[in-house]
Structure 1
């Protein structure tokens, strides 16, 4: 299955938790239907991207990057590459590249979708963002990449400014998804 086909399958099967996200889900599917290159950064007026909220092993904290262009605290994420095989693979790759943390476990998803204007192709371009969460192993240490001004573990309910509501929403949904997993007895 191609990355494009995977995105169609994922978004077709996904149940949006809000009416606004349902509208975006349908918009993303229409964009995929009308743009064969919808997964690639060269696609204008927009392209699909993947974002991942990296949570601590217990779900109490989220790792955020101080994005050099946006100048805001955001989760890890970015563009699809030709070699990517699925949206989930993009989400996991971006989380690893930007956090330096090995052994991340991607939670079932996606958990959210978002659309935001970006700087890829002036004067206007959109990221059609499919959002996931991943869990870091206990004791994980993050390493700042050249894609970040800073990395910081913060409590999920105390995300610092400047940020956006999509970041807060994804962190909380990731925490809820982690908390709802079946835990072993004992």
Structure 2
């Protein structure tokens, strides 16, 4: 939990970031566990092409929309960032996928509909870059995995997601340039 709080505190101040910090501090370690309550932290990974002009998405079987890879934190995950990397590897089939950094690129708290056992996810999003010709597989949680140009994202995505993914791509690209 302490690494998550430290990462959240590194983000620019915003109402959403501040809500995350308050909620994680209040809930403690239970915030990271699926069985800790109806609301909990989830870990996601946006996978971009090396030019940051394409994003790899999965069509979520339960949600019936296109989205980044992600899911619940497992007991074996050393951190939320490790959980995001594991989820992206499992759901894309890209075994050597690694995060650009342990820095958060996006936050999204969203309520879930009746098809889910959880009431809400406090999603923490990281970024990775892989070659566009990487071998892909579709996991049982998805119906499809496919690359999309950032300027031609699919219609069936959650509200506000298009803007968030474009902002995350700019942030991840900027970080990569600063560190290369």
Q: TM-score range by the shorter chain?
A: 0.7 to 0.9
The answer for the alignment partner of 1:81 in structure 2 is: 74
Structure 1: which 5+ residue stretches go unaligned?
17-21
User: Cα RMSD over matched residues?
Assistant: 2.1
The runs of 4+ residues in structure 1 deviating greater than 6 Å are none
Instruction: Tell me, yes or no, if structure 1 residue 28 matches structure 2 residue 23.
Output: no
CA deviation digits over 1:114-150, x for unaligned, max 9? 11112223xxx11001111110135212110111011
Say how many residue pairs are matched: 174
Instruction: Tell me, yes or no, if structure 1 residue 7 matches structure 2 residue 4.
Output: yes
The answer for the alignment partner of 2:151 in structure 1 is: 157
TM-score (norm 2): 0.86
Specify which of 85, 107, 111 is matched with residue 113 of structure 1.
Answer: 107
Instruction: Give the drift of 1:183.
Output: 8.2
The answer for the alignment partner of 1:67 in structure 2 is: 60
Taking the aligned partners of 2:164 and 2:155, their CA distance within structure 1 comes to 16
Map 1:69-148 onto structure 2 (within 5 A): 69-108=62-101, 109-118=103-112, 119-121=116-118, 125-137=119-131, 139-148=133-142
Structure 2: which 5+ residue stretches go unaligned?
none
TM-score (norm 1): 0.84
